[in-house]
Structure 1
Amino acid sequence: MTDLRKPPAVLRTTRHRLPLLKLSRPQQWHKGAMLFAAPAAAGVIDQPTALLRATVAAIAFTLLSIGIYAFNDVRDAPDDRRHPRKQYRPVAAGLISPPVALIWGGAAAVAGLATAASVGLPTLGLGIAYLVTQLLYVYGLKHVAVVDVVVVALGFVLRAAAGATAARVPVSNWFLLVSLFGALFLVAGKRRAEWAAADARSRPVLAAYSSAWLDQLTTVALLGTSLSYGLWAFQYLGHDVFRELLAVSFLPFLTGLLRYGLLVSSGRGELPEHEIFRDRVLLVAGLSWALLVGAGLYLA
């Protein structure tokens, strides 16, 4: 019988020039863009001080995420070795030993908290909350149905809130709701794709879900995201001609949500960051939305 606690011999021969970089998952660093969402929505991202503080906060949360990825890969190494794609992660493949990965993750987490502290105690507090909730996720909550989805979505909300505290801008309730429901929508799509691919080998919690419930969650999240965004965007109607473009931006925003929902229903969505650039309709909708929002906020 194969011992899944140890990397197979075939994987031990796998080479990667920068295994610590791979362990840090640079393909996920784009999530740091969430730290710029609040100052951008507040219309201050073009101010050097706000941009700098948001950038420092983004670096802090990227470092915290690197720490979480390292801890997660050590914890999940036995399950990852049974997965066709995740078996090539450095710890699962035997490229990095668990102690080295834990030291790397711990150093990244400490550096992240120190960086967050440099932009203020509120941002540090959110950084600590992010680190604690994600560690709880890695070491247990990821196996609790429903809770696992909420915790992942909460991570995006904490990022968005940290961007606001770092840039020292107020954040509306509607903005936080868009962040929450939008994150739930992406997570629901990811879980739906994993469930359809019978990916329970590396994510046992999927066995607790049904396709009907995941479809229901996707629908609820889509509705919550669209309504929250609409209420945020339409509140500016009547202020001036450019701010009315925010209301118009609702159309490409909704188109993108519906298009992504269609992709999820067809079995795609496990890698949301890839689908956005692979699908032309999603890409055009996203660019149109960004142009309208940018013009509405910064040409007024």
Structure 2
Amino acid sequence: MPPGPEGLLAADRSSSYTVPVVPDAANPERKRAYVRAMFSAIARRYDLLNSLLSLGLHKRWKRYAVELATPPPGGLALDVCCGTGDLALLLKERLGPTGRAVGVDFAEPMVRLARQRGAGLPGVWFVQADAEALPFPQDSVDVAAVGFGVRNVARVERALEELWRVLKPGGRLVVLEFSAPRNRMFAALYDFYSYTVVPWLGRRLSRHPDAYLYLPTSIRSWPDQDAFADRLRQAGFVRVGYRNLLFGAVAVHVADKPGVLPQEPGLARANSVKTGPTGPREVRR
């Protein structure tokens, strides 16, 4: 059993908030067990939690991420750390009737809920598996996406290596993740919202309010946009870039596996996007 969240509380010296200590990368097994247990416990409230943390905008951002992914009609798309399956279902819409979308999550309750959502839809599957050991052959996937999940992986570099392995040459990875707001005033407001309002709601809406503290803390400890872009390059990806959303509180990272691009018009369209669904943000490509 992972240590209880009550044993993982500490005062954050950079603020007045009391936050849970995120299990660090030096102990990946401890983090893996903690995160799996937490997401298994909050699976039925997961979509609500995403709505709270994103100010209700996460579904709109996911559609934007899928637009940048440019999944080819009839192709195979992978949604890693799929949660309840939002990205897999959106990818399937773009893949068309002959396309296939597979969602992967290591928390069995999440997979069960995703399967319920995808029941009866042809070409959509959900499997229980770890992002660090994807059950797919090398060079088999056209597009891979990760939505608000990569920061919770125990060994991020290993997961990026796996994503690179399963993508076809020229395949595209899109990572949608909370990040570092560029505007200081907005950053202060978002911190207050994340560490005060969200936990307050969590105590009233969930039997696991500690999760509503862990997740904002995991966001704060996550590398900023440029640092994560460097990680993608170190993993072997090329044409790495990102789009900031909500003043940088969220970033959509786009990266390609070297090789012949499967869909040149799609890449051109993705690179031409200059405005996002939520207003001002930086463009880096």
Is the strand fraction higher in 1 or 2? 2
| Bucket of the pairwise TM-score, normalised by the shorter protein | 0.3 to 0.5
TM-score by structure 2 length?
A: 0.32
Is the helix fraction higher in 1 or 2? 1
- Structure possessing the higher radius of gyration over alpha carbons: 1
